[in-house]
Amino acid sequence: MSINELIKKTAAEQRKALLNKEVSAVELVQESYKQIEKIDDTLGAFNSLCKEQALQTAQDVDKKLAAGETLPALAGIPLALKDNMNYKGSRTTASSKILENFVSPYDATVVKKLKENYIPIIGKTNLDEFAMGSSNENSAFKIVRNPWDLNKVPGGSSGGSAAAVAGYESAIALGSDTGGSIRLPASFCGIVGLKPTYGRVSRYGLIAFASSLDQIGPFSRSVEDAALLLEAISGYDPNDSTSLNIPVPKYSESLKKDIKGVKIGVIKELFAEGLSDDVRKSLENAIQVYKELGAQIVEVSLPLLKYSIGVYYIIATAEASSNLARYDGVKYGYRTPEAKNLLEMYTKTRAEGFGDEVKRRIMLGTYALSSGYYDAYYKKAQQVRHLIKNDFDKVFETVDVLLSPTCPNTAFEIGSKIEDPLSMYLTDIGTISANLAGIPGISIPCGFDSSNMPVGMQLLAPALQEEKLLNTAYNFERATDFHKCEPSAVLVK
């Protein structure tokens, strides 16, 4: 197989080629850079590249393989890192002007784990500023385009990571998901995206947006790759007090079981008004596939799901307003050149350094937390969050896994929603509740709309049941070909 065919394959297939000496790790990394050179001016997936270190890691892999050493499963496979995770020596910007020239002084725990697994990090990917958004149009630097149609958004906030994987710039990527930022772009770009259980993956070194909701997770072109990458990054970390001290299963080894008798609950509220016909059709077809595979399909109801967006936009903004207080021009990044006194330095730095959406969130969050409103908004939202979690606990007493569209629509035109924050917020109706409940969710390709844009199916499982989730996804993938379809737009240039 030629190398430009090989970079379209999954990480597991690239690994086979590495072990069979059909390709070297250095060649794989170089090929990623060639593809980036060819298409990334158009795609906009990367904020910066980390060539020297990536090639060094690849060289180490080649040496070790030549010496007959056994290496971890993803050693030598090019990975793209969302630019809100610290990687020592790299610029870590969160796609914000306020951190434009910030160079990480340390490694995030996930980066440490990537290094231990000899995974070359080829670059840092574009995102919505501070991970706030659903389309990647909120980046302070540049927009990201969807590899399936360059006039459409890739989804957000991890749009760069999703576009990099869908555009064959890297085999795998990491993103972060606070309300859907891994699953939504995965669904818009026709790839796999997994948000783990809250606490499964350490958040140490991830630039905080909403700390009770943020989780880091994998993007890939197959469910098996997602399982392998999840295995590599999961585990207890004393540097993150919310990290769970529970052994990490061999996720990739749980993919063989069939799913006869598995009970899948179809979430009624997510098949209601507002769902596009094309998405509905793809999902109905997917349900049929599961029936043929022997799964048992039942309809279930999550009556409080309708409050999830309202609850999220109080809790997430409240936490963001507190997390983002640290960017004051003193310790990090940008400082206004024009201040006449300390107070002006703070206010001008923040006014000039943050973009509109980030300012909107800080104002909403500060309002929700302010005295006199705390009980009415923040406390109430926490109570409803608890009830939403109870709804999930209740349905998981009767089903193994839940199924829904990842998003009610497919990727939309660049510019079409950016002036209307409310309609942008509504794209997350399918994904946000999993963050509120802390449970794992995956988006996998399940069809195409009438303009040939990918449709994503979301599966959810109870906390720490990633094995069940991955196995259910894997069985669908094995029975269908959607994940093998190639985006035409990236092949054009």
Please list the active-site residues.
82, 157, 181
Closest distance to ligand GLN from the beta carbon of 270 (Å): 16
Told to check if 137 binds ligand GLN by CB under 6 A, we report: no
Query: Residue 257, SS3?
Result: coil
What contacts 483, CB < 8 A, 6 or more positions away?
Answer: 190, 191, 192, 221, 222, 444, 445, 477
**Smallest separation (angstroms) from ligand GLN to the CB of 132:** 5
Report residue 116 CA to chain centroid gap. Answer: 22
What is the closest distance, in whole angstroms, from the C-beta atom of residue 148 to ligand GLN in the complex? Answer: 20
| Binding flag, residue 456, ligand GLN (CB under 6 A) | no
Q: Which one of 131-139, 252-260, 302-310, 402-410 is the stretch in contact with ligand GLN (CB under 6 A)?
A: 131-139
Compute, in degrees rounded to 10, the torsion defined by CA atoms 185, 190, 192, 196. 20
- Comparison of 223 and 407: residue with beta carbon closer to ligand GLN: 407
Number of residues that bind ligand GLN (CB under 6 A): 13
Q: Give the shortest CB-421-to-ligand GLN separation in angstroms.
A: 9
Type of residue at 152: K
DSSP label at residue 464: T
Give the CB-nearest residue to ligand GLN: 181
The β-bridge partners of 413 are 152
Footprint on residues 83-112 left by ligand GLN (CB under 6 A): none
Q: Give Cα 30 distance to the centre of its chain.
A: 25
Of the candidates 179, 193, 441, 462, which one interacts with ligand GLN according to CB under 6 A?
Answer: 179
Q: Is 315 in the site for ligand GLN (CB under 6 A)?
A: no
**Does 39 participate in binding ligand GLN (rule CB under 6 A)?**
no
Which stretch in 126-134, 290-298, 325-333, 397-405 sits in contact with ligand GLN by CB under 6 A?
Answer: 126-134
- Tokens read off for 159: 């749009």
Find the binder of ligand GLN among 133, 353, 430, 462 (CB under 6 A): 133
Determine, following the binding rule CB under 6 A, whether residue 329 of this chain makes contact with ligand GLN.
no
Minimum distance from CB of 180 to ligand GLN (Å)?
5
CA 325 to CA 334: how far, in whole Å? 14
List of E strands, 146-207: 172-177, 192-195
The residue (of 30 and 211) whose beta carbon lies closer to ligand GLN is: 211
Q: Which is nearer to ligand GLN, 73 or 270 (CB)?
A: 270
**Residues 445, 484: Cα–Cα separation, whole Å:** 9
Shortest separation between residue 219's beta carbon and ligand GLN, angstroms: 13
Task: Pick the closer one to ligand GLN by CB: 45 or 287.
Answer: 45
Task: Count the Cβ atoms, other than its own, within 10 Å of residue 157.
Answer: 34
Binding mask 138-167 toward ligand GLN (x if CB under 6 A, else -) reads -------------------x----------
Of residues 159 and 265, the one with the C-beta less far from ligand GLN: 159
Two structure tokens written together for 251 = 């996720």
The pair phi, psi for residue 268, each rounded to 5°, is: -55, -45
Q: What is the C-alpha to C-alpha distance for residues 140 and 327, in angstroms, rounded to an integer?
A: 16
Please identify which residue in the block is written with the tokens 């231990």.
Answer: 116
Q: Tell me which of 117, 161, 178, 308 binds ligand GLN, using CB under 6 A.
A: 178
Rounded to an integer, what is the distance from CA 47 to the centroid of its chain?
17
Smallest distance, ligand GLN to C-beta of residue 217, A: 11
Q: Is 406 in the site for ligand GLN (CB under 6 A)?
A: no
Give the CA distances from residue 70 to residues 13, 65, 159, 172, in Å, rounded to whole numbers and listed in that order: 17, 7, 34, 21
- Decide: is 428 part of the binding site for ligand GLN (CB under 6 A): yes
Residue owning tokens 């050149």: 337
Q: How far is CA 141 from the centre of its chain?
A: 20
Q: Which is nearer to ligand GLN, 67 or 422 (CB)?
A: 422
Sign of CA dihedral 462, 466, 467, 469: positive
Task: Give the Cα-Cα-Cα angle 111, 188, 50 (nearest 5 degrees).
Answer: 30
CA angle 478, 484, 487 (to 5 degrees): 155
76 contacts ligand GLN (rule: CB under 6 A): no
Phi, then psi, of 353 in degrees rounded to 5 = -85, -30
Rounded to whole angstroms, the Cα distance separating 217 from 106 reads 20
Of the ranges 37-45, 65-73, 162-170, 177-185, which one interacts with ligand GLN (CB under 6 A)? 177-185
Stretch that binds ligand GLN, among 54-62, 132-140, 226-234, 398-406 (CB under 6 A): 132-140
28 versus 45: smaller Cβ distance to ligand GLN: 45
Please report whether residue 132 would count as binding ligand GLN according to CB under 6 A.
yes
Rounded alpha-carbon distances, angstroms, from residue 133 to 48, 159, 192? 21, 10, 19
Which residue stretch of 51-59, 171-179, 403-411, 485-493 sits at the interface with ligand GLN (rule: CB under 6 A)? 171-179
| CA atoms of 377 and 370, how far apart (whole Å) | 10
Which listed range, 178-186, 230-238, 294-302, 468-476, lies at the site for ligand GLN (CB under 6 A)? Answer: 178-186
Q: Select the residue interacting with ligand GLN from 31, 40, 177, 225 (CB under 6 A).
A: 177
Cα distances from 407 to residues 139, 258, 308, in angstroms, run 21, 27, 14
Tell me: does residue 433 bind ligand GLN (CB under 6 A). Answer: no
Q: Which residues bind ligand GLN (CB under 6 A)?
A: 131-134, 157, 177-181, 209, 316, 428
